[in-house]
Amino acid sequence: MKKVLLLAACAAMFTSALADTTADGYTITKATDVAWPAELPSLECRQGFGLNNQFYIQNKAKQELQVYDLTGKLVKTIPSGKATGVSYDEAGNIVISLCTFPNEYRTDTVQIKVVSADGKTVKNYNLPTESIVKGRCDFLGCAEGNMLTDGSLYLVGATNTGVGIMRVADDELDVDNSYQAIAAGTTPSTSTVVMPWKPVGSEDMHYLYVSRSATPCDMVMDGENFKVTPITLPNKGACNGAYPFVYEGKNYIAYPTPTNYFDGFAVAEITFNDDGTISAGEAPVIQVDAVATANANGFQADWLTVDPSTQTIYQVYPGGGLRTYKFTTPQSTGVNNVTAAKTVKNVTYVNTLGMQSAEPFQGMNIVVTNYTDGSHTATKVMK
C-alpha cells in the first residue's frame, strides 16, 4: 500500500499541463522535439510508434526494437529480427513482425512475436495457412484485444484482395478461426496497415484500412467478410501513418498531409452518416505544417499514434525526428497553428521506493520529464 501511495504522490507532484487552452478553437502544442537518433539508419528503421512517453523503433539491421525516451535517449532494447513491421495491441503488448524484409509472410517459421508490456512474457506465432496473405507487406497495424491471450491481428499483402485474420484464443493460436476475409473495394500495397477501433455510436468494431496514397477505407465485419466504405480525408498526403481515435465523444483520424513525404499532419473529425457514407469535413480541425524541407525517408512513412487519455499525439518520422504534441478540442470547430516547442531539460526515473536515477529501474518507474520553463510531466512505465 505504501508503494502505491508513493507512486500516486510522485505522479501528482510532477504532472502539469503542457497545452494552452483557447475557448474558441482546437489547439495543438508541440511538447517535445528531438532529432532522429544518429545511430538509426532510416532505411533500416521503417516503422515505429509512441506509447507511454517512449518511442519504439524497429531496427532490422541490428535485429532489435529500440526504445527511446522523450529526450531521444536509448533506454532499452528488445530482440526482434530482420523485419520492418512493429505495432502494439489494446493491452499494450508489443507486436513484432519476424518476416524478413522484403519477403512475403511464410507459414513454416515464426512470423509474429508478441512481448508483454513488462517484458516478462514472450510468445512466438507461426501464421496459419488459412490467414496467410499474398504478397509482401512491410508494416503492421495495431492488433485488437490481447495478443497473448485473446486477440486478432489483421494482415494485408501487396497482391492480396482480402485481409488475413490471425486470431489468438485461450492463450494460444486459434487456427480454426483464422482465415482470409474478403474486403472488396480496398487497394492493397506493400505498406498497407489495418487499424482496429470502436467509434462513438457504434456497437461494432471498425477497421481503418490505409494504403499510403490510396483513399483510406472504413471496414466493418459483415458475416465473415468486410463491408468497405471509403473515407475522403481533407488534404490527405501520400505517406502512411494514419491513426483513428475517440476523444470527448467524437471520432477523429490523425493522418499525414502534403507536401508529400514531409512531416506535416492533420486531424479530421469523422461523421458516420445515416445513409452509410462517412464524412470528414472540408478541412481538418487541426493542421500541423511540415518542418522538413526534404523527404527524410524513401518509403513514405510518417507514423502517428494518439493517446486520448493524455491528449498526446506521438510522431515518428523516420530519418526526420521524434515528436510529441498536446491537443485540446472545443465545442465549436476551428484550426490553430502550432505554438513553440517546449525544451526538455532532463528525464528522471523514480522507482516504487522513491529512489531517483537517470536510468530506468527494473520494474515499475515513474518517468518524470522536466522542461526548461519549469513545468513537468510524469507517467508510469514498466521496464
Number of C-beta neighbours around residue 358 at 10 A: 9
Residue ranges of the domains in the chain?
A: 1-18+343-383
- Alpha carbon distance 83, 140 (integer Å): 10
Mean pLDDT of the chain: 86
Long-range CB contacts (< 8 A, 24+ apart) of 211-214?
211/186, 211/187, 211/240, 212/238, 212/239, 212/240, 212/300, 213/238, 213/300, 214/187, 214/189
Residue 30's pLDDT is 95
Residue 342's pLDDT is 61
Arithmetic mean of pLDDT, 26-50:
95
Query: What pLDDT digit, counting tens, does each position of 181-216 carry?
Result: 999 999 899 999 999 999 999 999 999 999 888 999
- Asked whether residue 163 carries a pLDDT value surpassing 60, the answer given is yes
Range from 73-87, 137-151, 169-183, 335-349 carrying the lowest mean pLDDT: 335-349
Residues 244, 251: contact at Cβ < 8 Å?
yes
Which of 97, 82, 89, 243 has its CA nearest to residue 168? 89
- Asked whether residue 22 carries a pLDDT value surpassing 60, the answer given is no
The DSSP result for 110-164, as a single string, is EEEEEE-TTS--EEEEEPPGGGPPSSB----PPBEEETTTEEEEEE--TT-SEEE
- Asked whether residue 8 carries a pLDDT value surpassing 90, the answer given is no
Residue 240's pLDDT is 92
* CA 95 to each of CA 74, 88, 117, 122: distance values in angstroms, whole numbers, following the listed order: 20, 5, 10, 10
Query: What pLDDT digit, counting tens, does each position of 312-321 carry?
Result: 999 999 999 9
- Alpha carbon distance 311, 305 (integer Å): 11
- Asked whether residue 169 carries a pLDDT value surpassing 50, the answer given is yes
- Asked whether residue 354 carries a pLDDT value surpassing 70, the answer given is no
Q: What angle do CA 227, 173, 191 make, to 5 degrees?
A: 50
- Alpha carbon distance 236, 214 (integer Å): 10
- Alpha carbon distance 280, 254 (integer Å): 11
Confidence of residue 23 (pLDDT cuts 50, 70, 90): very low
Cell numbers at 99, concatenated: 518476416
